[in-house]
Amino acid sequence: VAIARIAVPVAANRLFDYWLPAGLQVESGSVVRVAFGRRRVHGVVTEIVRSSELSPDRILPVQEVVEALPVLPGDLRALAQFVAAYYQQPIGQCFAQLLPPLGAKRGRSEGRRADVVAVEAVKGLEVIELNTDQRRALDAALPRPPSFAVSLLQGVTGSGKTEVYLAAAARVIREDRQALFLVPEIHLTPQLEQRIAAALPGVRVVTLHSALGAGKRLGHWLAAARGEAQLVVGTRLAVFAPLPRLGLIAVDEEHDTSFRQQDGVRYNARDVAIYRARLRDVPVLLGSATPSLESYAQAQRGRYRWLRLSQRAKARAALPSVQLVPNRDPGSLEGLGSSLRAAIAERLARREQSLLFVNRRGFAPSLLCVACGWKAMCPRCAARLVVHREAAALRCHHCGHNERIPAGCPDCGNRDLFPLGFGTQRLERALGQLFPGARVMRVDRDSTRRRGAFAAMFRAITSGDVDILVGTQMLAKGHDFARLTLVGILGCDNALYSADFRATERLFALLEQVAGRAGRGALPGEVLVQTDFPEHPLFAALVDHDYDRFAEALLAERRSLGLPPFGHLALLAAEATSRAAVNSFLERAAARGNALATAHGKHCEVFPPVAAALARRAGMERGQVLVQASERRALQNFLARWREDLERLGPRTVRWSLEVDPPAVG
Contacts to DNA by CB under 7 A: 10-12, 16-18, 34-39, 52, 54, 58-60, 651-653
Question: At closest approach, how far in Å is the CB of 53 from DNA?
Answer: 8
Please report how close the Cβ of residue 264 comes to DNA at its closest, in angstroms: 8
Nearer CB in complex with DNA: 36/363: 36
Measured from the CB atom, is 440 or 581 closer to DNA? 581
CB closer to DNA out of 48 and 59: 59
Q: Phi and psi (nearest 5°) for 172?
A: -65, -40
CB of residue 25 to DNA, shortest distance in Å:
19
- Concatenate the DSSP letters of all residues of 251-292 into one string: EETTT-GGGEE-SSS-EEHHHHHHHHHHHHT-EEEEEESS--
Q: Which is nearer to DNA, 630 or 657 (CB)?
A: 657
Q: How far apart are CB 78 and DNA at their closest, in Å? A: 22
Output the smallest distance, CB 408 to DNA, in A: 34
Phi/psi at 641 (5° precision)? -75, -40
For 38, residues 6+ apart whose C-beta sits below 8 A from its C-beta are none
Torsion of CA 109, 114, 116, 117, to 10 degrees: -160
CB closer to DNA out of 37 and 145: 37
- Interatomic CA distance for residues 254 and 271, integer angstroms: 9
**Minimum distance of DNA from residue 653's CB (angstroms):** 5
Cβ closest to DNA, residue 6 vs residue 225:
6
Give least dist CB 655 to DNA, A.
Answer: 7
Task: Round to whole Å and give the CA distance between 71 and 350.
Answer: 60
Neighbours of 333 (CB within 10 A): 13
Please name which of 567, 441, 443 lies closest in space to residue 501, comparing C-alpha atoms: 567
- Which CB, 34 or 128, lies closer to DNA? 34
C-alpha span between 122 and 173 (Å, rounded)? 7
Q: How far apart are CA 51 and CA 240, in angstroms?
A: 31
Give the nearest distance from C-beta 620 to DNA in angstroms: 11
**11 or 315: CB nearest DNA:** 11
Q: What angle do CA 175, 276, 297 make, to 5 degrees?
A: 105
Q: Of the two residues 8 and 142, which places its CB atom closer to DNA in the complex?
A: 8
Minimum distance of DNA from residue 350's CB (angstroms): 55
Q: Pick between residue 16 and residue 508 the one whose CB is nearest to DNA.
A: 16
| Spatial distance between the Cα atoms of 538 and 611, rounded to a whole number of angstroms | 28
Contact present, 403 and 394 (Cβ < 8 Å): yes
DSSP state of 320: P
State how far the Cα of 554 lies from the Cα of 542, in Å rounded to an integer.
Answer: 14
> Could you tell me the smallest distance in angstroms from the CB atom of residue 409 to DNA?
32
Beta bridge partners of 527: 322, 487
Q: How far is the CB of 17 from DNA (least distance, A)?
A: 4
Phi/psi-derived region of residue 176, left when phi > 0, alpha when psi is between -120 and 50, beta in every other case: left
CB of 459 to DNA, least distance (A): 39
DSSP string for 574-619? EEESSHHHHHHHHHHHHHHHHHHHHHTTT-EEEPPPEEEEEEEETT
Looking at beta carbons only, is 309 or 576 nearer to DNA? 576
- If the CB atoms of residues 480 and 645 are measured against DNA, the closer one turns out to be 645
Amino acid letter, 315: A
Q: What is the CB-side half-sphere exposure of residue 571 using CA atoms within 13 A? A: 18
Minimum distance between the CB of residue 581 and DNA, rounded to whole angstroms?
Answer: 10
Give the residue from 307, 303, 283 showing the smallest Cα distance to 149: 283
Nearest-angstrom CA–CA distance, 594 and 607: 9
Q: Which is nearer to DNA, 509 or 658 (CB)?
A: 658
Report the b/e string of 100-129 with b at 16+ CB within 10 A: beeeeeebebeeeeebeebbeebeebeebe
Distance CA 462, CA 482 (A): 8
Q: How far is CA 642 from CA 88, 304, 322, 593, 666, in A?
A: 10, 32, 48, 6, 22
**What is the gyration radius of the CA atoms in the chain, in angstroms?**
27
Name 49's bridge partners. Answer: 3
Q: How far apart are CA 97 and CA 79, in angstroms?
A: 10
CA gap 525, 486 in Å, rounded: 6
CB-CB contact of 272 with 239 (8 Å): yes
| Nearest-approach distance from CB 91 to DNA, in angstroms | 12
When the beta carbons of 54 and 121 are compared against DNA, the nearer one is 54
Nearer to DNA, 97 or 448 (CB): 97
For residue 201, is it left (φ>0), alpha (ψ between -120 and 50) or beta?
beta
Write down the least CB distance from residue 18 to DNA, Å: 4
